[in-house]
Amino acid sequence: MTEIERPKRKPQRRGPGPVQRQRSGEKRERVIRAAIECIAEEGLQRATAGRIAERSGISWGGIQHQFGDKTGILDAVLEQLLRDLRDQVEQFSTRATSIEGRVRALVDAAWNLLRDPAYQAFREVMRNHALSARVKLDSEALLQQVGVALLELCAELFPERRSSHKTLSLVSAILFATLSGMAEQQRYSVLEDSLTKRQLAILRETLERVISVEART
């Protein structure tokens, strides 16, 4: 009798190993950083797929494999910005216990981040995305994401004010509007360090007053 042939098992495909995952993560970071630098330095229109690929040292095909298209890269840039904001706040606020210390942590962290090329790239996208038919972004949704992130950080830093959504919303709005304006101002003009320090001090005093008034009511 002829022996019945058993169906051959297909070899199981293994997922990427730790070395491959590390290399993939490194490539992803290179692409994001290249996109940030291109947009911040040259503007959104000149930050083409070819320029990003050239600057990152990764082929456009490799970039598409991870991000899909340019919009996917810009989404990743925004995600990186929000992660950096949270990391900055955590770094500055680990030892802050008083309201004054936590306000300083929030202001210093946000100020460091808003001066970063990543935020400048984000601002450039917000200004010019409507001019590019290839990049479809909802500017209102993007700003909402930043606002939500700031609001969540305020709630974490000031848990005693968690019940007052209006106060936390006011704090995050003042913080974002003031520091965004200061970052924009520094981008186009040279300001003395003493003036910048005074502006930051006034901002901290204002936020402390808003939170303290709420605490007494």
Per the model's pLDDT, the better-predicted residue between 215 and 159 turns out to be: 159
Decide: helix, strand or coil at residue 138.
coil
* pLDDT tens digits, 31-75: 998 988 888 788 777 888 889 999 999 998 888 988 888 778 877
* pLDDT tens digits, 105-124: 889 888 887 787 777 777 77
Look at residue 183 and tell me whether its pLDDT is greater than 80.
yes
Do residues 47 and 35 make contact, with C-beta atoms less than 8 angstroms apart? yes
Class of 70-216 in CATH: mainly alpha
Per the model's pLDDT, the better-predicted residue between 87 and 11 turns out to be: 87
Q: Of 65, 112, 69, which is closest to residue 87 (Cα–Cα)?
A: 112
Range of lowest pLDDT (47-56, 87-96, 104-113, 166-175): 87-96
Query: Which DSSP symbol is given to 4?
Result: P
Do residues 83 and 147 make contact, with C-beta atoms less than 8 angstroms apart? no
Give the Cα separation of 186 and 125 in Å (integer).
18
pTM > 0.75: no
Mean pLDDT of all residues belonging to the chain: 77
Look at residue 84 and tell me whether its pLDDT is greater than 80.
no
Hey, CA dihedral for 56, 61, 66, 70, is it positive or negative?
Answer: positive
Angle at 128 between CA 47 and CA 203, to 5 degrees: 105
The pLDDT value given to residue 191: 74
Look at residue 204 and tell me whether its pLDDT is greater than 90.
yes
Provide the residue ranges of all domains of the chain, joining segments of one domain with +.
Answer: 70-216
Mean pLDDT of 147-168: 75
Look at residue 190 and tell me whether its pLDDT is greater than 50.
yes
Q: Which helix (H) or strand (E) holds 66?
A: helix 60-67
Do residues 88 and 114 make contact, with C-beta atoms less than 8 angstroms apart? no
Q: How far is CA 34 from the centre of its chain?
A: 15
